[in-house]
Structure 1
């Protein structure tokens, strides 16, 4: 009797995670309550989601992408410069998914169009540039610090809209599933600030407007993301 009751409970829980598809087969719905982790071009993050109806879904997520590095480059001169840079993206996002093909087969039954937005607490980076070796005037050597340092900051932080598409709730096993999202944030023009010291102090007057002009075309921030989640 106890075993029979447990079997009925298990069957009921399994059925609650399924629905009748248009082709007459029993399958999983496009949207379910979930918690998961994400990885992609915006770094790593976490996500929660809940259905609003059979065809609409709400997702809230956050992600973080920190990256540091350095490189040595000549910048079209005979002298080599060392560049230390740091890039950081951190955001909190909200998305509404819409299932456009409710009568499609199993794969496109999980397809969704997405709109939403994000607040970027951090979005951009900074770079510090100085000579990689002493600079000589005749026999007199000047250290890289004496020649000067150029510091550049680029910042897109604030509210931005998002549009994209993807597949949600692709079942792996049991309550575990995965999703794929592809889209872009519209981040607009960045704030650019360049400062310099010593011999290089006049450099920002020439190069800051050039950098600002070059970055005007980078108004879209692409997003490719894979999600691993659990339905509850």
Structure 2
């Protein structure tokens, strides 16, 4: 009977909750702020506290056209989201992969730009304007370069097995945007400059950048 118990014990797999995650991990992230890389390190013996550094990048500059009377407005966005982030991730429960996280980041392109030119004669509110008189409009919204971040999710940044998966939902705090407007053509005859403070005030609630990320991790220096 004793030998039977020994054979049964040998066939029973170890409890994975007793196996520690890898001390380091590298991760590939994909989400609303683009594609990025992340390096993580456990900060406590129980692996419930993890430090992370990472970078993500997204760019978009495809022209889109808006019909305006007989003509069109060609709008060329210049959108680049490049963020470097350092954060700490905490698992409140020992055997649960739920986590909360907070940190700070830096963006080297804290603005969104757009260039607007006319193609043909366009019409605004019944007023028809020639292509030459429309001119060129360059608009920009600029936020802070230093960002705050907070979020929560499920999964480990340093997996128990060689590969791991996590999903994270959070938001960056950008501060209130500032409006910059440069133009030629018919707008020079208007009082639009006087409206810029009003526009900035109306946009002050756009202080946050939501972030949804999916993370695939690879454990490093795992002793298993």
Q: TM-score range by the shorter chain?
A: 0.7 to 0.9
C-alpha contact (below 8 Å) 2:137/2:183 kept by paired residues: yes
Alpha-carbon separation, structure 2, partners of 1:230 and 1:82: 44
The answer as to 2:56 corresponding to 1:63 is: yes
- Note the C-alpha offset of 1:149: 1.1
Shift in alpha-carbon separation, 1:49–1:191, aligned structure 2, 3 A = same
Alpha-carbon distance in structure 1 between the residues aligned to 2:122 and 2:206:
35
Greater relative CO (CA pairs within 8 A, separation 6+)? 2
Residue correspondence of structure 1 range 43-54 to structure 2 within 5 A = 43-53=34-44, 54=46
Matching residue within 155, 171, 174 for 2:142: 155
1:10-46 CA-to-partner distances (Å, cap 9, x unmatched) read: xxxxxxxxxx8xxxx3335467410121110010110
Task: Give the paired residue count.
Answer: 199
1-side partners of 2:121 and 2:130: how far apart? 5
Cα displacement string for residues 187-228 of structure 1 (whole angstroms, at most 9, x for unaligned residues): 110121001112222364155334323321111111100111
Distance in 2 between the 1:152 and 1:42 partners?
A: 22
Which of 23, 26, 50 aligns to 1:35? It is 26
Compute the displacement of 1:142 (Å).
7.8
1:74 to partner: Cα distance = 5.0
Aligned to 1:231: 219
Task: Note closer, same or farther for the CA distance 1:135–1:188 as it changes in structure 2 (3 Å cut).
Answer: closer
Check if 1:96 corresponds to 2:80. Answer: no
Alpha-carbon deviations, 1:40-69, whole Å to 9, x = none? 001011000000002211000001110112
TM-score normalized with structure 2 length: 0.78
Secondary structure of residue in 1 paired with 2:193: helix
The alpha-carbon distance between structure 1 residues 125 and 189, as it changes in their structure 2 partners (threshold 3 A), is same
Once superposed, which parts of structure 1, at least 4 consecutive aligned residues long, lie more than 6 Å away? 170-173
Compared CA separation, residues 30 and 165, structure 1 to 2 (3 A): farther
Q: Which runs of 5+ in 1 are unaligned?
A: 1-19
Q: Is the 8 A contact 2:40 2:157 kept in 1?
A: no
Evaluate the alpha carbon distance shift between residue 100 and residue 198 of structure 1 in structure 2; reply closer, same or farther with a 3 A threshold.
same
Q: For 2:170, which of 147, 163, 183 is the aligned residue?
A: 183
SS in 2 for 1:69: coil
CA contact 1:31–1:169 (8 Å) conserved in 2: no
TM-score with structure 1 setting the length: 0.75
Query: Contact 1:82 / 1:129 at 8 angstroms: preserved in 2?
Result: yes
CA distance in 2: counterparts of 1:79 and 1:214, whole angstroms? 30
